[in-house]
């Protein structure tokens, strides 16, 4: 068991941790939204399969490019059963609409605004170049071309692409089941009432429930556990049996009632690391109990959220089969910062775009204590990130790393 390790070492241990992707399942296309693709996707045909008009206009042959007048032979709407053929004995035009197949023998499309209609003839005012305003075979994709990689999280754009490939069903990875354990005599479940002023509601449990869903898992929130070692140990073993990953919050520190920490000490041969030199969240621990991944997170809401984002997500995404990479920006700080603690500090900030560049500020951040969850909930529509502060002093023009959240 490694104790009180550096942040980068913790990340390396998570990177090296063996994580088995769960099974695969076949789902209907609409149900694949936000699921993780389990197969590479290749084009089975050229798209388009024939040259198509990209505008309403008149199709002609370049053989007669220098002629001014053309006889209009026919209309050619999109989806016509038979693709027309343009005669090449004389200047003939076929009116061809957007999305329609170009007539056989035609290689120029003249937009309607560039012609003058005179009875059954047209006069070309400005002739197009060969291939202009025409979508050639395979412009979208060519047969055999790789279009999507396994591990991709399928958003609405990808659903549209899969529909264009006639994919009725899609192979995706199964979602991991994530057990959530919350302990503490002071915690009330939502809907409960107490006359005691030293009680708090179960913010952490429902925060983690939502986070697990957000990252593609299936959360299972267990009933709140009282500060009883036997009860916590029994619930932990039950969760490890029925879930693929278990996350607890609270009880990971060094106090008399921090029973998760005590359980970890008794099973220290299964603990990968316990304690990371970061603020907030230094008491985080990661273990493989009974071969299952387990994270013990600190009880303060900020620390719970930060350690989930930094550590749990690394394992959870692997279990989901995802190849998503965390977005890290390098941004000028904008203010002088002096920190008193030698630990690496992760300070929540607002990330805004100004004049085409990202900048950060700390507007509305009441403090950076581990208990203030609303720091992560700005009342304005800005993005939220974590400034990575490694040094003790920073000048306002210093460039720092910002880990983007959600």
Of 221, 220, 226, which is closest to residue 187 (Cα–Cα)?
226
- C-alpha–C-alpha distance, residues 334 and 360, integer Å: 7
- Where along the chain do its domains lie? 2-22+175-319, 25-42+149-173, 52-135, 328-405
Q: Which residues pair with 400 in a beta bridge?
A: 331
Q: What is the CATH number of domain 52-135?
A: 2.170.190.11
Q: Does residue 360 have a cis peptide bond before it, meaning omega lies within 30 degrees of 0?
A: no
Domain 328-405 sits in CATH at: 2.40.340.10
Which pLDDT score is estimated for 178?
98
**What is the CATH architecture of 25-42+149-173?**
Alpha-Beta Complex (3.90)
Instruction: Read off the pLDDT of residues 242-262 as tens digits, 9 standing for 90 and up.
Output: 999 999 998 666 655 477 888
For residue range 318-331, what is the model confidence (pLDDT) as tens digits? Answer: 999 998 888 999 99
Model-level pTM?
Answer: 0.88
Which stretches of the chain score pLDDT less than 50?
Answer: 257
Strands, sheet with 115-118, edge to edge from the N-terminal-most edge strand: 108-111, 57-60, 92-96, 69-76, 121-124, 115-118
- pLDDT for 254 equals 60
CATH of region 2-22+175-319, choose from 3.40.50.620, 3.40.980.10, 3.30.360.10, 3.40.50.720: 3.40.980.10
pLDDT for 194 = 85
Per DSSP (E only), the strands in 149-249 are: 169-173, 177-182, 187-188, 200-201, 218-221, 245-249
């Amino acid at each position: 068991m490694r104790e009180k390790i550096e942040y980068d070492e913790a990340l390396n241990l998570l990177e090296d941790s063996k994580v088995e992707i769960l099974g695969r399942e076949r789902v209907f296309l609409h149900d694949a939204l936000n699921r993780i693709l389990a197969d590479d996707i290749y084009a089975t045909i050229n798209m388009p399969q024939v040259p198509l008009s990209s505008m309403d206009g008149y199709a002609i042959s370049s053989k007669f490019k220098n002629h001014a007048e053309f006889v209009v032979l026919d209309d050619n709407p999109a989806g016509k059963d038979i693709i027309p053929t343009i005669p090449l004995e004389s200047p003939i035009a076929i009116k061809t609409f957007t999305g329609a197949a170009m007539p056989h023998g035609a290689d120029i499309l003249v937009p309607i605004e560039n012609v003058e209609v005179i009875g059954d003839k047209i006069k070309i005012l400005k002739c197009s170049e060969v291939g202009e305003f025409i979508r050639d075979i395979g412009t979208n994709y060519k047969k055999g071309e790789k279009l999507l990689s396994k591990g991709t999280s399928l958003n609405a754009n990808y659903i549209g692409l899969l529909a264009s490939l006639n994919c009725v069903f899609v192979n995706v990875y199964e979602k991991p089941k994530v057990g959530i354990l919350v302990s503490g005599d002071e915690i009330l479940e939502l809907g409960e009432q107490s006359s005691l002023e030293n009680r708090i509601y179960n913010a952490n449990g429902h925060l983690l429930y939502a986070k697990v869903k957000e990252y593609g898992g299936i959360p299972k929130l267990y009933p709140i556990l009282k500060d009883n070692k036997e009860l916590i140990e029994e619930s932990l073993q039950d969760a490890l049996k029925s879930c693929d990953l278990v996350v607890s919050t609270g009880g990971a520190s060094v106090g008399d009632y921090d029973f998760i920490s005590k359980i970890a000490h008794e099973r220290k041969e299964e603990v990968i690391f316990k304690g990371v030199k970061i603020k907030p969240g230094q008491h985080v621990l990661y273990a493989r109990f009974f071969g299952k991944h387990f994270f013990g997170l600190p009880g303060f809401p900020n620390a719970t959220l930060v350690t989930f984002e930094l550590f749990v997500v690394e394992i959870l995404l692997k279990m989901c089969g995802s190849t998503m990479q965390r977005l890290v920006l390098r941004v000028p700080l904008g203010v002088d910062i002096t920190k008193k603690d030698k630990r690496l500090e992760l300070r929540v900030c607002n990330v805004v775009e100004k004049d085409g560049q990202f900048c950060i500020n700390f507007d509305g951040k009441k403090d950076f204590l581990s208990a203030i969850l609303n720091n992560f909930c700005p009342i304005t529509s800005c993005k939220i990130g974590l400034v990575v502060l490694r040094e003790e002093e920073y000048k306002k023009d210093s460039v720092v790393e910002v880990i983007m959240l959600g």
